[in-house]
């Protein structure tokens, strides 16, 4: 996450913290954005929840541009970012302000029972994954809550990296339930202004 986007994410999460509801992110990876949400949660007296299966997104698999072989578990031969994520939280001193849920986003969303003040979608970049994240978590966002979507690239040249997030961003606006608050590079921040979704 670039610095400008990270600062915008933090500001949006800090403002959403005023609702007193959990701040949730989909897509933990190694925890860079989690520490921003955790700090916002700490300051507002709530908690950050981060959901990830820790096996990496499509573009992080072997042979792809964003693959990092240092996070491959040599015993099972698959990516495992959970140990790196835990070290990141520990180094930041924010472990007490984060609930890490290891699982697939749609499965976790199905069993999640409460409302959220903030949802940050930064998971897989296929239409299937982005749509499932939006469909699973947007309805759980309280009215007045904030929906942030990362890697929104309107240009079709970015089909693999940002068109699916762009499509769920458009879907949120077209639903009439969300109003855009800000756009910082590839980060879009929306506020839920209607209960109808």
Catalytic residues, which ones? 125
Q: CA angle at residue 12 from 86 to 95, to 5 degrees?
A: 20
State the burial class of residue 158 (Cβ atoms within 10 Å of its Cβ: 0-12, 13-18, 19+).
middle
Q: What SS3 class is residue 178?
A: strand
Task: Give 171's contacts (C-beta < 8 A, 6+ positions apart).
Answer: 131, 134
How many C-beta atoms surround the C-beta of residue 68 within 10 A?
A: 13
Q: First CA to last CA across the chain, in angstroms?
A: 29
SS3 154: coil
Q: How are beta strands 116-121 and 141-149 bridged, if at all?
A: parallel
């Amino acid at each position: 996450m670039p610095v400008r986007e990270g600062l915008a994410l933090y500001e949006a999460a800090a403002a959403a913290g005023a609702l007193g509801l959990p701040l949730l992110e989909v897509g933990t990876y190694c925890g860079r954005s989690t520490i921003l949400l955790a700090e916002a949660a700490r300051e507002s007296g709530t908690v950050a929840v981060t959901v990830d299966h820790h096996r990496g997104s499509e573009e992080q698999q072997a042979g792809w541009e964003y693959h990092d072989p240092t996070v491959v578990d040599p015993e099972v031969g698959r990516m495992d970012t959970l140990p790196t994520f835990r070290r990141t939280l520990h180094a930041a001193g924010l472990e007490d302000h984060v609930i890490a849920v290891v699982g697939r986003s749609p499965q976790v969303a199905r069993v999640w029972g409460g409302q959220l003040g903030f949802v940050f979608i930064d998971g897989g970049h296929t239409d299937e994954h982005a749509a499932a994240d939006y469909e699973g978590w947007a309805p759980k966002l309280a009215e007045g809550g904030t929906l942030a979507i990362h890697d929104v690239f309107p240009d079709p040249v970015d089909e693999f990296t940002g068109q699916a997030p762009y499509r769920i961003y458009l879907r949120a606006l077209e639903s009439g339930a969300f109003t855009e608050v800000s756009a910082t590079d590839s980060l879009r921040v929306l506020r839920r202004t209607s209960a109808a979704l």
